[in-house]
Amino acid sequence: MDILPSEQQQQKGEGNETPQSSLEHAITDLSLTSQQQDGDDDDPANAKGEVSKKKKKKSKSKKKKEAPKQTDPPSIPILDLFPSGDFPEGQTQHYKDDNLWRTTSEEKRELERLQKPIYNSVRRAAEVHRQVRKYMKGIIKPGMLMTDLCETLENTVRKLISEDGLQAGIAFPTGCSLNWVAAHWTPNSGDKTVLQYDDVMKLDFGTHVDGYIVDCAFTVAFNPVFDPLLEASREATNTGIKEAGIDVRLCDVGAAIQEVMESYEVEINGKVYQVKSIRNLNGHSVGRYQIHAGKSVPIVKGGEQIKMEEGEFFAIETFASTGKGYVREDLECSHYMKNFDVGHIPLRLPRAKQLLATINKNFSTLAFCRRYLDRIGETKYLMALKNLCDSGIVQPYPPLCDVKGSYVSQFEHTILLRPTCKEVISKGDDY
């Protein structure tokens, strides 16, 4: 269409041109016009520029896509998923009443900035816990051998936390106590216990980085009849977290927990049970390389008047029971822990000395179980272990059981009383 005006101009201005030459001019003009209309698209330099721009854009998008994502099953260490070295913060809650001023205090914020390396360590451990429990929730099913369940969980923790001796790893044995067993049960080697559809399993495991421990637990039940029992302990734990804070008396936390816990009832096989708090089980303060650091957080009223303090870590845990609401030691022992404050105690048995050296090297004051000793190559150690227990160097922690035939559920989170706010370190999307 652009050819018609140019042809007319050429015929007027150069009448002596032959039709052939006029046609050639027209073709040339058409070529030029189309180039002008297309702008610089056909220019080689421009074309290269466009290509390079596109390449740059592509490479940028590739970099974004290449950000590491966790695999299924999880295998990428948390350090690789967060190359900046900053790990996700837990859920934060403001302090109440007389401590509300802390939220905006510049002095308290500065204190937190100084504590950032500690926060980062415990948040790394918490992120490992979240990812491991998410994976385990997807694979736990009736018919699993309890030993396989525990070893799968523990090996996943070891990978994700980049296990490094006493610098990072598992904080204590995986508790997978069933039904009326409330706590401190894990299978010893050779145990053939299988998870059943009607079981209520408390899955309590811990992670640590630089000795900063995340102690966190949840309950697995396949039969929906147990849902109210699980909800009782979950809501009681949330209440305990909500009530906890700087200068709060431990007894007040316990009273609030019991009130929520005992507002639930559960019907099992046609019989209605009033849900009870297990009165001789508690939450606890957590220290560095010390799972029980001295303070107990009761789950019934009437506890100690001692106050929570700034900078302390607490494991807020509750146990809901259809039984007597009281536990006793029973069954074969699997959990052990070297006493935190034990001094030098002379040992006569060479095998006990050797076992103690192994415990110091691999666990220090972190809890361990017989499977862990088997894993690092210890054999025929039961007599030596008993000697260490009898001498007071190592403390045995047998399973804690309510009355046989009852059911117990548990939920637990680790919280940190930061100077400006309360951080529920182990909080996740699941609970």
Q: Which residues are annotated as part of the binding site for a divalent metal cation?
A: 204, 215, 284, 317, 412
Query: What is the C-alpha separation between 85 and 14, in angstroms, rounded?
Result: 78
- Binding-site residue set for substrate: 184, 292
Q: Which of 127, 204, 312, 402 is catalytic?
A: 204
Please return the burial class of 55, using the count of CB atoms within 10 Å of its CB with bins 0-12, 13-18 and 19+.
exposed
Distance CA 243, CA 225 (A): 29
DSSP character at residue 173: E
Q: Which of 133, 203, 160 is nearest to 74 (CA)?
A: 160
- Dist CA 283 CA 393 (whole Å): 24
* 29 is an active site residue: no
Catalytic residue among 154, 199, 215, 423: 215
How far out from the chain centre does Cα 322 lie? 29
Query: For residue 183, what are its two tokens?
Result: 């706590």
How far is Cα 392 from Cα 346, in angstroms, rounded to an integer? Answer: 11
Catalytic option among 127, 243, 312, 412: 412
153 within 8 A of 174, measured Cβ to Cβ: yes
Active-site residue 413, yes or no?
Answer: no
Binding residues: 184, 204, 215, 284, 292, 317, 412
Query: Encoding tokens for residue 306?
Result: 């001692």
Catalytic residue among 112, 292, 330, 378: 292
Question: Is 112 tagged catalytic?
Answer: no
Write the CB contacts of 322 (distance below 8 Å, at least 6 apart in sequence).
229, 266, 268, 273, 275, 276, 406, 407, 408
2 has catalytic annotation? no
Please identify which of the residues 129, 208, 284, 335 carries the catalytic annotation: 284
Residue 154 CB: number of other CB atoms within 10 A? 21
Residue 284 bears catalytic tag: yes
Q: Are strands 276-277 and 271-274 parallel, antiparallel or unpaired?
A: unpaired
Asked if residues 391 and 398 have their Cβ atoms less than 8 Å apart, the reply is no
Contact assessment for residue 194 and residue 146, using Cβ atoms and an 8 Å cutoff: yes
Residues 6+ away with beta carbon under 8 Å from 219: 200, 201, 202, 203, 230, 233, 409, 410, 411
Kindly give the pairing relationship between strand 368-369 and strand 276-277: unpaired
Where is 351: in which H helix or E strand?
A: helix 350-362
Exactly one of 127, 235, 317, 423 is catalytic; which is it? 317
Query: Is residue 25 among the annotated active site residues?
Result: no
Burial 173-198 (b: 16+ CB within 10 A, else e): bbbbbbbbbbbbbbbeeebeeebeee
- The region, left, alpha or beta by phi > 0 then psi within -120 to 50, assigned to residue 306 is beta
Q: What is the 3-state secondary structure (H, E, C) of 207-250?
A: EEECCEEEEEEEEEECCHHHHHHHHHHHHHHHHHHHHCCCCCEH
Positions marked catalytic: 204, 215, 284, 292, 317, 412
